[in-house]
Chain A
C-alpha cells in the first residue's frame, strides 16, 4: 500500500456506500417485521408494543443527539478555555 494516492478504496466509490446502506435498511426492515412473526417473552407492559425495541432505539438516539446539541450551546468553550 505504498501508492495510496492511486489506489481507490472501498468507500471511495459512492455506489459501495449506497450498497452498504441498502443492505442495512433491508436488515432493519426485516428486524422490525420479525416482531410480528416471533413471539417475544414480555416482562413489562410496554414491551407489548409492536417493534418496541426498534422504535425505542431510534427515538432514544434521535433525542440523545438533539438534547446533546442543546447542551453543547451551554457547555461548549474554546479549546484553550482553561489555559488563559
Chain B
C-alpha cells in the first residue's frame, strides 16, 4: 500500500470528477484530500523511496521525508477547504483542472529526482492555467496566456538545468544543488525563482491570480509558489543571495498593495511579501530559519486561502472587488467579515494567530545570525503587511463608508470552508507545538515569551495607529479606479512598442531603399538603352545576332587565354 504515490489518487479522482455530476462529484471532491491526507499521515513513513525506470534512468516517483510530508499534509488541507469552497461550482473543466493541479503539486513535492520534478512542474503550469481561463473574460484569456508563458519558461529552464546537472555530476537526484553547481545550478535556481515570484519575475502572479475565477484563485494561491518554496528549501538552503532576494520580495510589494484598487490583487502582492519571509528563511539556512520558512509556508497557505476565500465570497455576491466600489459590507455579510478579520489577524502575525508562531522564527533567526539591517527591513515589512493586508482588506471591503451595496451573506459552503481555515489559523496560533512537531529540522523554539508578544503587539497597534492618523489627516491615498505599472509593463508595453517601432523603421527603410534603387535602376536602364551596347543586351529580347556575338566573344576569350597558356 505504501508504494502508491499520492498524486495517483488525485489523478484518478480527476477522471471520476470528469464523468460524474451533482452529489457524487461533490463527495469525490471532498473525499480525495481527506483520503489522501489520511494515507500520507498513517500509511507513509519518512524514508520511503519508490523508484521507477524511464529509458534506463532510475527515477524516484515518491521520496518521502519530513520535508515532503509536511507539504503533503499542507496540500491536502488546502485541497480540502478549497474543495468545500467550490462545491457550488458546476463547471466540469474547473473541477478537473483544480484536482489535477492539486495532484500535480503533491507529485512535485514527492519527486525524488529532477526529471520527475520537471514533469509535475509542467503539469502544474498546464492544469492551473485553466483556472484563470475559466473566468471566461478576454482579460482572463490574455492574462492566462502570459501566465502560461512564464510557467512553461520556468519548466524549460528546469529541464535544461537538470540535463546540464546530469552531464556534470552523473546524478539526477533532487537533493541539495546549490549555486556552486555552476550553469546547472543557476538554471534550476532561476526556474525555481520564476515560480517563487522573485522580483522582476513576479508579474505572472499579480497579473494572473486576480483574473482567475472566484474559486480558482484560492487554489492558485495555495500550490504554485509553495511548491517553489519547497524546492528552494531542498535545493538551495543557505544560499546567501536568497536573503537579499527574500528581503526585497518582502518589502517592494507592500508599496503596490497600498495603492492597488483590486483587492484580490492586493492579496496577490501580499502573497509575494509573505513568500519573501520564506525565501529569506531559506537563505539564512540555519535549522531555525529553515523550519521558520516551511512553517510559514504552512500558515500562509491557510490564512492566505482564507483571505482569498473571503474576497472571493465578496466578488461572488457583489460581482466586483474594487476597493473604490465597496464598503459597508459588514452589514450584509457579517460572518464573512468576521472570518476575513481572522485571516487578517493571522497574516499580520498577531499573537494567538498562525502567522505569529511561524514568522517569528524567521525574525529570530535573522537576529541570531546578526543580520541587523535585514532584520530592520523585515520589521518594516511586518508592519507593512498589517497595514495593507491586515487593515486595508477588511476595512475597504467591509467597513469604510457605506457603499450602499446590500447583498446576501456568502453561500453556506463558502462559510464552512472559511470557518475550517479560520479554525486552523487559531489552532496553529494557540497550539503551535503540533505544527512544530512536524517540522523537518531539529531545533527547540517557543514563540510565546513576554518580550516577543509585547514587541509584536506594540508594532502592530502602532501600525494601526498610523492608519487611523493618516486617515484622520486625509493623507491616506483614496482607492481609485486605476491600475499600476509593474514589471509586466516591460513585456506588455515596452517590448511590443519597441518591436512595433523597429518594424515601422524597417518598413520605411525598405520603402526608401526600394525607391532609391528603383530610381537608379531606371536611370541606368535609360542610359544603357541609349548606348550602342543596348543592341547586344541579352534579356530584353533574344535576337540570334546578339547570341552569336556573345558566343563569339566568349570563344575569343578562351582562345586568348589558351594562347597565353593561362587555361591550365
Given contacts A9-B330, A65-B258, A57 and B483 within 8 Å (CB-CB): no
User: Are A57 and B259 in contact, with the CB atoms below 8 A?
Assistant: no
Which residues in window 440-476 of B have CB below 8 A to A? 449-451, 454-470, 475-476
Task: Name the residue of chain A whose CB is nearest to the CB of B258.
Answer: A68
Inter-chain contacts of B427 with A (CB < 8 A): none
Given contacts A43-B367, A69-B477, A77 and B485 within 8 Å (CB-CB): yes
User: Are A64 and B258 in contact, with the CB atoms below 8 A?
Assistant: yes
Inter-chain contacts of B139 with A (CB < 8 A): 83
Q: Kindly name the residue among A5, A9, A61, A81 whose own CB sees the greatest number of chain B CB atoms within 10 A.
A: A61
Q: Kindly name the residue among B460, B461, B477 whose own CB sees the greatest number of chain A CB atoms within 10 A.
A: B461
Q: Kindly name the residue among B380, B458, B464, B493 whose own CB sees the greatest number of chain A CB atoms within 10 A.
A: B458
Given contacts A65-B475, A66-B475, A75 and B486 within 8 Å (CB-CB): yes
Given contacts A9-B331, A43-B367, A44-B367, A71 and B259 within 8 Å (CB-CB): yes
Partner of B484 from the list A24, A38, A76 (CB cut-off 8 Å) is: A76
Does B247 have its Cβ within 8 Å of any Cβ on chain A? no
Inter-chain contacts of A47 with B (CB < 8 A): 455
Convert A34-77 into 0s and 1s, putting 1 for each residue whose CB lies closer than 8 angstroms to a CB of B: 11001011011011000101111111111011111101101111
Does B229 have its Cβ within 8 Å of any Cβ on chain A? no
Complex alpha-carbon distance, A55 and B332, angstroms? 37
Complex alpha-carbon distance, A9 and B482, angstroms? 31
Main secondary structure of the interface of B (DSSP, over half): helix
User: Are B254 and A24 in contact, with the CB atoms below 8 A?
Assistant: no
Partner of A76 from the list B367, B457, B480 (CB cut-off 8 Å) is: B480
Convert A1-19 into 0s and 1s, putting 1 for each residue whose CB lies closer than 8 angstroms to a CB of B: 1001101011110000000
User: Are B454 and A62 in contact, with the CB atoms below 8 A?
Assistant: no
Does B275 have its Cβ within 8 Å of any Cβ on chain A? no
**Separation in Å of the A4 CB from the closest CB of chain B?**
5
**Chain B interface residue count: which class?**
35 or more
Does B372 have its Cβ within 8 Å of any Cβ on chain A? yes
**Separation in Å of the A22 CB from the closest CB of chain B?**
11
User: Are B463 and A57 in contact, with the CB atoms below 8 A?
Assistant: yes
Given contacts A43-B367, A72-B259, A61 and B484 within 8 Å (CB-CB): no
Task: Name the residue of chain B whose CB is nearest to the CB of A4.
Answer: B406
**Separation in Å of the A11 CB from the closest CB of chain B?**
7
Given contacts A57-B462, A58-B463, A75 and B484 within 8 Å (CB-CB): yes
**Separation in Å of the A49 CB from the closest CB of chain B?**
12
User: Are B493 and A32 in contact, with the CB atoms below 8 A?
Assistant: no
**Separation in Å of the B499 CB from the closest CB of chain A?**
16
Does B536 have its Cβ within 8 Å of any Cβ on chain A? no
Partner of B458 from the list A5, A31, A62 (CB cut-off 8 Å) is: A31
Does B174 have its Cβ within 8 Å of any Cβ on chain A? no
Does B384 have its Cβ within 8 Å of any Cβ on chain A? yes
User: Are B477 and A72 in contact, with the CB atoms below 8 A?
Assistant: yes
User: Are B380 and A60 in contact, with the CB atoms below 8 A?
Assistant: yes
Complex alpha-carbon distance, A32 and B383, angstroms? 16
Inter-chain contacts of B457 with A (CB < 8 A): 31
User: Are A38 and B450 in contact, with the CB atoms below 8 A?
Assistant: yes
Task: Name the residue of chain A whose CB is nearest to the CB of B482.
Answer: A76
Given contacts A11-B399, A65-B476, A58 and B462 within 8 Å (CB-CB): yes
Does B387 have its Cβ within 8 Å of any Cβ on chain A? yes
**Separation in Å of the A82 CB from the closest CB of chain B?**
6
User: Are B483 and A41 in contact, with the CB atoms below 8 A?
Assistant: no
Task: Name the residue of chain B whose CB is nearest to the CB of A10.
Answer: B330
Inter-chain contacts of A32 with B (CB < 8 A): 458, 462
Inter-chain contacts of A65 with B (CB < 8 A): 258, 387, 466, 470, 475-477
Complex alpha-carbon distance, A62 and B383, angstroms? 10
Which residues in window 377-408 of B have CB below 8 A to A? 379-380, 383-384, 387, 399, 402, 406
Task: Name the residue of chain A whose CB is nearest to the CB of B470.
Answer: A65
Does B481 have its Cβ within 8 Å of any Cβ on chain A? yes
User: Are B454 and A60 in contact, with the CB atoms below 8 A?
Assistant: no
Task: Name the residue of chain A whose CB is nearest to the CB of B408.
Answer: A1
Given contacts A56-B379, A57-B460, A75-B485, A64 and B384 within 8 Å (CB-CB): yes
Leading 6 A-B pairs by shortest Cβ distance: A61-B466, A57-B462, A68-B258, A53-B458, A57-B459, A58-B462
**Known contacts A38-B450, A64-B384, then 6 further A-B pairs from the complex at CB < 8 Å, ordered by chain A residue:** A34-B458, A53-B454, A57-B383, A68-B256, A71-B256, A76-B484
Q: What are 23 sample pairs from A and B whose C-beta atoms fall under 8 A apart?
A: A1-B332, A4-B331, A4-B406, A5-B406, A9-B331, A11-B330, A24-B464, A24-B465, A28-B462, A28-B465, A41-B449, A54-B458, A58-B465, A58-B466, A60-B383, A61-B462, A64-B387, A69-B475, A75-B484, A75-B485, A77-B483, A82-B483, A82-B492
